[in-house]
Structure formats: C-alpha cells, structure tokens
Structure 1
Amino acid sequence: MRAKHVNQLISLAAVLLFSFSCFSISRMAQTSNQLTNCRNHILEFKKNILHLKNKTEQSRQELMGALNKIKDNIRQRENVSVNFVEREVDTFDENEAMPNTFEVLKSFLPHLRKVGRIYPDVIISKEKTGVSFALGVPTVQREDHGYLKQTLTSLVSRMTHEEAQDSVVIVSVADSNEDYLKSVVDMITKKFKKQLKSGSLEVISIPQFFYPDVLHAKHSPEDSQTFESWRIKQVLDFCFLMLYAQPKAMYYLQLEDDIIAKKMYFTKITDFVHSITSDNWFYIEFSVLGFIGKLFKSEDLNDFVRFFLMFYKDKPIDLLLGDIFQVKLCHPGETPEKCAERNKQIRIRYKPSLFQHVGIQSSFPGTEQYLKDIYY
C-alpha cells in the first residue's frame, strides 16, 4: 500500500515535471519568436532610418543645388551683366545709322573716312540720357599706381540719391592694353554695382582705329616724339569722350582719373549753375588746374571739339581752351582790356575749387607731378 502511494506520487511528480517542461519550452519558443520579431523590427527601423537619411541627404543636395543656382544667377546679373548693354563696332546692323555726333571726326581725321562706323569698342551702360549732368573721366594705365577707384569713390559717394539719378559718370578707357581694360571693368563691376545697376555709371573704350598712324608708332621714352604723341593723344581722348557724352546731358563736366571731389561738390555745382542769371557764359571753372573741373553746356561741345581737332597737333588741350576764347570772342580791333573784361564775365571761376589733383604718377611714362590747386 505504501509502495502504491509512492508510485502515485512519483507519477504525479513526473506529470507535473512534464507539464512544466512543456510550459517552459512553450514560453521559450514564444520568447524566441518575440526576440526574432523584435530583431526584425529593429532591422526594419534601421532600414527606414537609412532610407530617411539618404532621402534627407538627397533633399539637402537638391536644396543646396537650387540655392547655388540662385546665387549664380544673382552673381551673373550683378557682376557680369547688371542688364548692361554691350556693344562693339562690328555689332551694328548694316542699315543702322552711325551716331551723328561722331561724324565731325571725319572732317579732321582723314583716316576715319574709310571707317563705316565710329563708336566705342565696349559700352557698359544703361544708355542713360536726358539728365542734367554728364561727368567725363578719361583713364589710361599708369606705371606704378592707379587712382581711378579713389576718384570714382569720391565722385559717387558725394552725390545724393537724387543727384545720382540726374547725372551719369562716364569712364572712358583710352588705353590699348586689354589687361588694363579688363582690370578697370572688373574693379567697377565689383565696387560700383549700385551705380552700374541704376545707370549712373558707364564704361566705354576708345577703339584703336580712332587714332592716327603716328600715334601707333613706337618711340623710346627719351624720344621727344614720345611726349608729342602722348600730348596729341590726350587731346583726341578728350574730344572722343566729349562727343560721346554730348547727347546725354544738358551740361558736361570734364574731370580726370586722379582727382578727388569736395563734400557736396555736386550740390554746389548745381546751385551755382542755377544761380547764374545770364545764359551767355562760355564755361565755368571748378578747378584752376589744367582741364580739370571745366563745365560746358552740352550744346556747345561740338564747337569746342571742332576747334580742338583743328589744332590738336599744336598745343595741349588746356591751352587750346584759352585760344578758342581769343578766336571766337575777342572782336577785331577790340582793346585787350575790353576782351579781358568780357573774359571775366563769360569764363566764370568758382571759388573755392571743388576738385583737387592727387595723382603723383603721371600718365606720361616715367614722370611724376605734384600739381595742387591752391584754391581747393
């Protein structure tokens, strides 16, 4: 009986152990399946994260590409074109009439009679016209130092917004060196974007065919002919710039590329011109030096250019400016005193001078000059 009870207990224990084993195995299998499922979820999560990362990187690259494209478009508009009008001599249509203002050149420079059209090689311009003042700044390369950026900064920074709208500054590159032309254009497009965009600053380049053959000949710096050629070319450079500026404005102010202007210079010029009651003035001097700061009525520029071209081989242009007064305005038989008195009335000098010469390195090679306006 006792043995029977023992056997029953053993059987019960075996059944319980078997049941527990089955339960444990079932739980372990369930846990394994859960672990497998979890691992699969983790792998799928990693896959989704990687896909999202790749998609984010692709989106970032697409966004950066779009931004770079926008930047390139802005850079191209501001630094390259700024809606510029670029012309060269051979880009005019065959049926397009040559600007009449340059026709006068053919009367005094016979070699130009073979040229169909006369116009600047390069124009960076909004073709601004109908303004009150055009400011002419001829420039050539100097040996060691250039003053053009300083000059332009002085001129444009000392204008009000309204004055800039009613004027145009014309830089005329009168140099055959293409590297210098490029350096001028690069400097201006980088430093004076606002003025270029508004049309208040232009750049032109005088074509080499404009100059007579004598100016293309090579001379040593010590040769006297070198200085004569430099002086002759300077007169022609001024004439070309005057003719280009003439149709643009009511008044033309002649400057140089190595000067600075006084504060409010433009306001003072405008107020002074408007204060003159008589229209019978010849020109106004806003500097006593050379050809700097001379203001002309644009309607008179053709007469001045004709006279300069008649004697461009004989004298510097500032001396010719005095001669034209004697020829045109001193009457035959008139006493020198009467002529001198009229001179004061129609050749008007403004004091103090509004422009100062700052260049030391002359545009004539190997020469330094220390000219200063004592009335500045």
Structure 2
Amino acid sequence: MRTRHVNVLIALAAVMLFSFSCFCISRMTQTSNQLTNCRNHILEFKEKMLHLKNKTERNRQELIKALSKVNYEIIQRKNMSVNLVEKKMNTLGNNETASNAFEILRFFFPHLRKVGRIYPDVIIGKEKTGVSFALGISTVNRGNQSYLKQALNSVVSRMTPSEEKDSVVIVSVADRNEDYLKSVVDMITKRFKRQLMSGSLEIISIPAFFYPNILHVQQSTEDSGKSESWRIKQVLDFCFLMLYAQPKAMYYLQLEDDIIAKKMYFTKITDFVHNITSKNWFYIEFSVLGFIGKLFKSEDLTDFVRFFLMFYKDKPIDLLLGDIFQVKMCNPGETPEKCAERNKQIRIRYKPSLFQHVGIQSSFPGREQYSKDIYY
C-alpha cells in the first residue's frame, strides 16, 4: 500500500516537473523572441539614426555651399560697388564735393531750388577720384541700333594697365527709358566687369527732375519743336556729365557713344598734354567733329558749363564752344586776324584725329547722319 502511494507521489512530482520545464522552456522561447525583436528594433533605430546623420551632413554641406555662394555674391557686389543712389531730399551723401559741383544749376533753373539734392539717380562703380583723366560718354536710346558697346570696347581696350589705373570712363545714361538703362547696365556689368571692379569705369543716370519744364513742353509739339527739344536736352546732358566728372580728374575728355578710338590714343593724348610748353591753352581738339574728342582742364569746366547754360536754348553745344572763345579771348576793337592768331595758340588742334564718328542712326529718332572726320 505504502509502495503505491510512493509511486503516485513520484508520478505527480514528475508531471509537475515536466509541466514546470515546459513552462520555463516556453518563457525562455518567448523571452528569446522578445530579445530578438528588441535587437531588430535597435538595429533598425541605429540604421535610421545613421541615415538621419548622413542626411544632416548633406544638409550641412548644402548649407555651407549656399552660405559660401551668398558671401561670394556679397563680396562681388561690394567689389563692384553697385550703389543705387536714391533721390533723398534734403540729405547729402559721403561724396559732398561731387554733390556741391551741381549747386550752380540752381542759379539757372529755379525748379531745382526746391530740390534737396541734385545728384545722379544711379551710380554704378567706385566713384573714383584723384586721377589724371576723366572720359565722359553720354548715351541715349537709338531704337534698334546701338554703338555703345563698340565705342566702349574701343576706348577701354586701347589703354595700358597704368593708363587705366590713372583714369575713369564715365557712361552717363541720359534717357528716362528704364529698359534702356537696364540694358546698358547689363551689357557693361557683363562685358566690362573687370573695369567696373577696378573703378576705371562708372555708370550714372541723369535724374528726370533735372530737366526744365520747357523741355517737356517742346517734346509734345511739332517736329521742329522736337528737334529743338532734342538739341536743348543734348546741351544739358553734356553739362550734367561735365559737372559730375569735374572733381574726379585733372583733365576731362568729351566723347560720344558712337565713336571709335585709334590704337594708343590715350598714350598719344597723355604725351601731347605733358609736352605742351604753354599752360594757357583753352582746350585741345583730338577730333574736328562736333563735341567729340575735346579735352578740357577740369578746373575750367565750371566756367564752360556756366556759359553753356546761359545759352543752352540758342545753339548746339559745339557752336557754343566757338562762341565762348570769342567772348573770353577776343578783345574789343582788335582785328579778326589777330584774334584768329591767338585762337591757334590756345585752341589747339591735334592731327591726325584720334577719334572717328561711326554712328549712322542719330540719337534724334528717325534721323541718319554720315559725318566723318577727314583727319582721322
């Protein structure tokens, strides 16, 4: 009897032991599966973190590139000194000397007395000063025809590096057409970027408020009135450009936007000016045509501009240039021959001419001109 009880207890213990073993095995298997899943999650998390790290690194590199590009653009703009000068009334900028040069305009034009500051609307360049020569080129829209790029290339490319350093070429956009201004700026900043960055080339635009009301009235009348308005405006355009250039250099050379220059023209001008024995010359002609190639002492420009503004309604500027000589240099009562002899001494002509007029389409709409310098 006792033996049977013992066997039952042993069997019961075996069953319990077996059940516990199965339970333990089941729990271990479950735990193993959980550990495997946990490991898989950890591996997946690590993979995502690695991917995120790589993506962050790529974003950082792209950000660095973007910042570098922005900094490059800022430096480029700074080097090119692209300054869009706004019309701020009753304020003066840093360049007060240049600004003060325009003050004489208030005497001749009452409407400018109400303006706080007379200065170009736009200046692109380094506003270079302290050089020997300033070369002025006034340009307007000629419709489908433009000679400006050819003229600039001829003038700029035929300077030596030292001559370029000691000069500044000023392109004055005397046209209210904003599209034309933009086209000039785009062309020059692309084709003559180095000259802009070095300060040897500048672009300015004349503010519309500079012109008197008589000009706006005549532009809306008949063809004769439009022609007179065009002539008057041309005189005023030159005057504005001359006043802007006056504080920059010792000498001022007037050019136009439809000319070409001879090779070594600048060297020849420099040598000729430095070798003139007399310092009393009035101006020097490096072309016999119109107002092209006329060289002035900058210290005399204000007197020339005053005279031009006194008679800007009466004659073209090249004829006024002859009149000012008669007024200033011919004494009352002397013979024309004696005055003509003095003319040769102080109104000097250089031969052969260093500039040729190549434009056919005039700046006056619809008009063609074929003038050539026979001494070129």
Q: Which range, TM-score by smaller chain?
A: 0.7 to 0.9
Q: What's the counterpart of residue 343 of structure 2? A: 343
Q: How does 1:277-356 map to 2 (within 5 A)?
A: 277-356=277-356
Q: What's the counterpart of residue 81 of structure 2? A: 83
Deviations 1:300-323 (A, max 9, x none): 001100110111000000000011
The 8 Å contact of residues 284 and 296 in structure 1, kept in 2 or not, is answered as yes
The 8 Å contact of residues 231 and 316 in structure 2, kept in 1 or not, is answered as yes
Q: Which secondary structure state, in structure 2, belongs to the residue aligned with residue 239 of structure 1?
A: helix
Q: Which secondary structure state, in structure 2, belongs to the residue aligned with residue 255 of structure 1?
A: strand
The 8 Å contact of residues 289 and 373 in structure 2, kept in 1 or not, is answered as yes
Q: What's the counterpart of residue 359 of structure 2? A: 359
Q: What's the counterpart of residue 126 of structure 1? A: 126
The Cα shift of 1:352 comes to: 1.1
Deviations 1:67-93 (A, max 9, x none): 344234334543686233442230763
Deviations 1:339-372 (A, max 9, x none): 1111111111111111111111111001111111
Query: Per the alignment, do residues 319 and 69 of structure 1 end up closer, same or farther by CA in structure 2, a change over 3 Å counting?
Result: same
Identity level (%): 72
Q: Which secondary structure state, in structure 1, belongs to the residue aligned with residue 88 of structure 2?
A: helix
Q: What's the counterpart of residue 266 of structure 1? A: 266
What's the TM-score, normalizing by structure 2?
0.82
The 8 Å contact of residues 85 and 127 in structure 1, kept in 2 or not, is answered as no
Q: What's the counterpart of residue 163 of structure 1? A: 163
Instruction: After superposing the two structures, state which structure 1 stretch, 100-109 or 65-74, moved more.
Output: 65-74
The Cα shift of 1:56 comes to: 5.7
The 8 Å contact of residues 252 and 296 in structure 1, kept in 2 or not, is answered as yes
Q: Which secondary structure state, in structure 2, belongs to the residue aligned with residue 127 of structure 1?
A: coil
Q: How does 1:1-376 map to 2 (within 5 A)?
A: 59-60=57-58, 62-78=60-76, 82-90=80-88, 93=91, 99-217=99-217, 219=219, 223-376=223-376
Give, as a single letter, the amino acid of the residue that structure 1 aligns with 2:169: V
Q: Return the alpha-carbon distance in structure 1 between the equivalents of residues 74 and 360 of structure 2.
A: 36
Q: Return the alpha-carbon distance in structure 1 between the equivalents of residues 268 and 257 of structure 2.
A: 21
Q: Return the alpha-carbon distance in structure 2 between the equivalents of residues 250 and 357 of structure 1.
A: 26
Query: Per the alignment, do residues 70 and 114 of structure 1 end up closer, same or farther by CA in structure 2, a change over 3 Å counting?
Result: same
The 8 Å contact of residues 151 and 259 in structure 1, kept in 2 or not, is answered as yes
The 8 Å contact of residues 83 and 122 in structure 2, kept in 1 or not, is answered as no
Q: How many residues matched?
A: 336
Deviations 1:224-280 (A, max 9, x none): 000000000000010111111101100000001111111111111000100101101
Q: Which secondary structure state, in structure 1, belongs to the residue aligned with residue 82 of structure 2?
A: coil
Give, as a single letter, the amino acid of the residue that structure 2 aligns with 1:272: F
The 8 Å contact of residues 91 and 116 in structure 2, kept in 1 or not, is answered as no
Q: Return the alpha-carbon distance in structure 2 between the equivalents of residues 92 and 162 of structure 1.
A: 39
The 8 Å contact of residues 90 and 116 in structure 2, kept in 1 or not, is answered as no
The 8 Å contact of residues 77 and 83 in structure 1, kept in 2 or not, is answered as no
Q: Return the alpha-carbon distance in structure 2 between the equivalents of residues 72 and 258 of structure 1.
A: 38
The 8 Å contact of residues 155 and 261 in structure 1, kept in 2 or not, is answered as yes
Gapped regions of structure 1 (runs ≥ 5): 1-39
Q: What's the counterpart of residue 30 of structure 2? A: none
Q: Return the alpha-carbon distance in structure 1 between the equivalents of residues 333 and 104 of structure 2.
A: 31
Q: Return the alpha-carbon distance in structure 2 between the equivalents of residues 265 and 76 of structure 1.
A: 36
Q: Return the alpha-carbon distance in structure 1 between the equivalents of residues 352 and 280 of structure 2.
A: 22
Give, as a single letter, the amino acid of the residue that structure 2 aligns with 1:110: P
Q: Return the alpha-carbon distance in structure 2 between the equivalents of residues 52 and 363 of structure 1.
A: 68
The 8 Å contact of residues 91 and 117 in structure 2, kept in 1 or not, is answered as no
Deviations 1:83-131 (A, max 9, x none): 3344223076379868331121122222212222211111123121110
Q: Return the alpha-carbon distance in structure 1 between the equivalents of residues 236 and 61 of structure 2.
A: 54
Q: Return the alpha-carbon distance in structure 2 between the equivalents of residues 335 and 290 of structure 1.
A: 26
Query: Per the alignment, do residues 173 and 283 of structure 1 end up closer, same or farther by CA in structure 2, a change over 3 Å counting?
Result: same
Q: Return the alpha-carbon distance in structure 1 between the equivalents of residues 196 and 264 of structure 2.
A: 21
